[in-house]
Amino acid sequence: MYKFFLRPFLFLFAPESIHHFAFSALKVFGKIPGVNSVIRSFFEIKDHRLSKTLMGIMFPNPVGLAAGFDKDAKRIDELAAFGFGFIEIGTLTPKAQPGNDKPRLFRLPKDKALINRMGFNNGGVQDAVLRLKNRKSKIIVGGNIGKNKVTPNESAFEDYNTCFETLYPYVDYFVLNVSSPNTPGLRELQEREPLRKLLSDVIALSKAKPEYKPVLLKIAPDLNNEQLNDVVSILKETKTDGVIATNTTISREGLDTSTETISTIGLGGLSGKPLTQRSTEVISFLRQALGKDFPIIGVGGIMTEQDALDKLKAGADLVQIYTGFIYEGPGLVSRINKALLQQM
């Protein structure tokens, strides 16, 4: 139903505009008594066999919503009704920032992909906390945090520190985003020494708290094997709790969309089906290098149940969707969970 009726209508409008419209609709319908329960009855798969304890957290199922979809924690309760096992908010920064100029989000229907150069647009971490305080759902929430565009890299820890301290009471785990291609210079924080120091310092913040909360790193798919080995070494050295593989790619290889269209769109991170294979390759590399027990969350190009199964087989403990949610609809969550149950 979604792909044949609702998606064609939604795709008539600009991607960012329809995203805001959908969020407004979720807000309106979510206020109607019983609506979230009805949605949950269609999409939620409850089965103890799907649950997994990772990093000391019990996830009711392994399918999460990736960061970027609900940056400001505006619709956690409504999105939870679609059967996700966890939701990651952000990327959040200490101060509100508008992000890059519009248009900054583009569909590539021929490739089942998106290109975005949003630029960490968000209302600031304090704004998100006001909503987190009032949420009703008990769904697991991760806090994806980054630095403001105007903050120089040498002062990046101050921004991550502010976000960590502000979010700490309201999220279950943290993700350090140093891999977005849309904030100038951010990926330089993936280099060996800056990354080692940033991870060590944020982990120290968590260790100083009465209750330790896991700290994960989100990495880019564009790292070569030597760079990935550096990441692996740092993850082990700093005793980072987990890794999310992967963010969007700056590659444009193998696309069916015309080169003219791609050139007109310009810079940005590519997500969706073109990323499927590469992100799975990175997961496999990390699993072999990190061993069987290191927590890995797989994301990037999960458009079908099989894509999710492939990432889990490659070594992911959990998976996240974003672009697949847009192209395939909310039913993708339950289809993945049903496919997992069929394999048990």
Catalytic residues: 180
Ordered DSSP codes for 231-269:
HHHHHHHHT--EEEE---B---TT-SS-HHHHHHH-S-E
Count of residues for the chain?
Answer: 344
Q: Which residues contact 332 (CB under 8 A, 6 or more apart)?
A: 302, 303, 304, 305, 321, 324, 325
Rounded to 10 degrees, the C-alpha dihedral 151/272/86/297 comes to -80
Position of tokens 């206020």?
Answer: 31
Tokens at 280, concatenated: 């799975």
Which position has the token pair 């496999």? 284
Tell me the three state secondary structure of residue 49.
Answer: helix
End-to-end CA distance of the chain: give it in Å, rounded: 28
Residue 176: closest CA among 119, 264, 244, 78: 244
- Listed in sequence order, the residues at least 6 apart from 128 whose beta carbon sits closer than 8 Å to its beta carbon are 72, 73, 89, 90, 92, 122, 167
Q: Return the axis-axis angle of helices 35-43 and 331-342, rounded to nearest 10°.
A: 40
The 8-class DSSP code of residue 101 comes to P
Buried b (16+ CB within 10 A) or exposed e, 12-40: eeebbebeeeebeebeeebeeeeebeebe
Q: How many CB atoms lie within 10 A of CB 82?
A: 23
